Amino acid sequence: QVQPVESGGSSVQAGGSLRLSCVLSGSTRDRGAYAMGWFRQAPGKDREFVACVSWSSENSDYADSVKGRFTISRDRAKNTMDLQMSSMKPEDTAVYYCAAAATLSGSRVYSSPTSYNYWGQGTQVTVSS
């Protein structure tokens, strides 16, 4: 069983920066090819796509609302994925979730939450104005 575990959530002022991390835990025999992504859910709203990266790290994609402000990266050797967030806004306030999608494609990215098999418990990010 593969389990994403997030960390790094905190409170930050508008305009500030924060870095979220996700570790993909599980036995080595379960560690096949996984594309990974970040999603977020604000109170009273649906879960929404933030960013995703392919297994090979060759490709990534971002929601329009975070393009130019957030950067996704991963380290396959360490089974980790990070989300560097800068120029943060109050509307970035949400619970952020890390997710992993089993894939046969090293270069494909997935922006739909239905593509993901495994989800973390979430980490709270609060941006104050």
Please tell me the distance from the alpha carbon of residue 126 to that of residue 113, in angstroms, as a whole number.
22
pLDDT at 1 over 90: no
> What pLDDT, on a 0 to 100 scale, did the predictor assign at position 27?
64
| Under 8 Å between Cβ of 83 and 58 | no
CA 120 from chain center: how many Å?
A: 10
Q: Tell me: the pLDDT tens digits for 57-103?
A: 999 999 999 999 999 999 988 999 999 999 999 999 999 999 999 99
Please tell me the distance from the alpha carbon of residue 6 to that of residue 91, in angstroms, as a whole number.
20
> What pLDDT, on a 0 to 100 scale, did the predictor assign at position 105?
87
Three-state secondary-structure class, residue 92: helix
> What pLDDT, on a 0 to 100 scale, did the predictor assign at position 32?
76
Q: Tell me: the pLDDT tens digits for 18-69?
A: 999 999 988 655 567 899 999 999 999 999 999 999 999 999 999 999 999 9
Please tell me the distance from the alpha carbon of residue 57 to that of residue 129, in angstroms, as a whole number.
34
